[in-house]
A and B are shown apart, each in its own frame.
Chain A
């Protein structure tokens, strides 16, 4: 059972306080987008064995959404960060590079 640090209230919350919210950094496509764009936005998700970016909500806590960078294979947590961003901060990317040189995820690396 995971522990993630909520960057909003600072609590090291165990998984029972949290709700998983799927993949992070999806770009929304609305009216005017092509069928392919909209399809990919709705349905196409990464399923990596290794570095992954996720959304979580501290639902039994401060109620805030946040992002987590984590390894799906070892459950190592590289860091958690604000939900108000379209990509992980450099600090998080650096932390991953230290632990997993050569990592890549979607267009990030």
Chain B
């Protein structure tokens, strides 16, 4: 197999925060009844995590699970393992009405790091990003200026941002503009 390449191949920029494309991340969209025990077991087997509550993420490194909607989860697994994990999951879910598909290559993932990370994202997403309102463990699907995106915090100064692969170039340039030097807002 030839070497897979992520949308921007780890491009990065450093201004008031560091913005970098994270490279390939294994991702599975899972749709189904989130209260179903079979589904919960499949999630546990794939990620070691329980089914998250509303707008909750349970992620450690490149493995975990994000709540996307009332009947949709985003499963994160190491890129190299996505085929095997998907096959196991599909097999486990065969008896119930559910859909699991590989979307690893359909997405791009960015990391925003630094004390101004909240401010960088606050320039492009219409979301209250104060620490009172948004904390590690929460996920928000919203828009990043003109495209759809989702983000969560890995720690107090780190966001991970997911968008469609075709918009990766736009989102990187957007975050780069938002992180330009001298543009600290000074509120968070």
Q: Do chains A and B touch in the complex (CB under 8 A)?
A: yes
Contact of A10 among B55, B72, B142 (CB under 8 A): B55
For A62, the closest partner residue in chain B by CB is: B69
Distance of A11 from chain B, by nearest CB (Å): 7
Dominant secondary structure at the B interface: strand
Measured between beta carbons, the chain B residues less than 8 angstroms from A16 are 126, 143
Measured between beta carbons, the chain B residues less than 8 angstroms from A60 are 141-143, 148
B68 CB-CB contact with A under 8 Å: yes
Determine if B69 and A64 form an interchain contact, defined as CB atoms under 8 angstroms apart: yes
B70 CB-CB contact with A under 8 Å: yes
Measured between beta carbons, the chain A residues less than 8 angstroms from B143 are 16-17, 60
Report the separation of the CA atoms of residues A8 and B126 in the bound assembly, to the nearest whole angstrom: 18
Please report which residues of chain A, range 72-105, place their CB below 8 angstroms from some CB of chain B when the two chains form the complex. none
Determine if B141 and A62 form an interchain contact, defined as CB atoms under 8 angstroms apart: yes
Report the separation of the CA atoms of residues A64 and B68 in the bound assembly, to the nearest whole angstrom: 11
Distance of A17 from chain B, by nearest CB (Å): 6
Determine if B142 and A64 form an interchain contact, defined as CB atoms under 8 angstroms apart: no
Determine if B69 and A11 form an interchain contact, defined as CB atoms under 8 angstroms apart: no
A63 CB-CB contact with B under 8 Å: yes
Interface residues on A, range: 10 to 19
B54 CB-CB contact with A under 8 Å: yes
Measured between beta carbons, the chain A residues less than 8 angstroms from B69 are 8-9, 62-64
Dominant secondary structure at the A interface: loop
Determine if A17 and B142 form an interchain contact, defined as CB atoms under 8 angstroms apart: yes
Determine if B126 and A14 form an interchain contact, defined as CB atoms under 8 angstroms apart: yes
For B143, the closest partner residue in chain A by CB is: A60
Determine if B141 and A9 form an interchain contact, defined as CB atoms under 8 angstroms apart: yes
Please report which residues of chain A, range 46-78, place their CB below 8 angstroms from some CB of chain B when the two chains form the complex. 59-64
Report the separation of the CA atoms of residues A40 and B70 in the bound assembly, to the nearest whole angstrom: 33
User: Chain B: residues with CB nearer than 8 A to chain A?
Assistant: 54-55, 68-70, 72, 126, 140-143, 148
User: Chain A: residues with CB nearer than 8 A to chain B?
Assistant: 8-11, 14, 16-17, 59-64
Q: A16-B143, A60-B142, A63-B72 are in contact. List 19 more A-B contacts (CB 8 A).
A: A8-B70, A9-B55, A9-B69, A9-B141, A10-B55, A14-B126, A16-B126, A17-B126, A17-B142, A17-B143, A60-B143, A60-B148, A61-B142, A62-B68, A62-B69, A62-B70, A63-B69, A64-B69, A64-B70
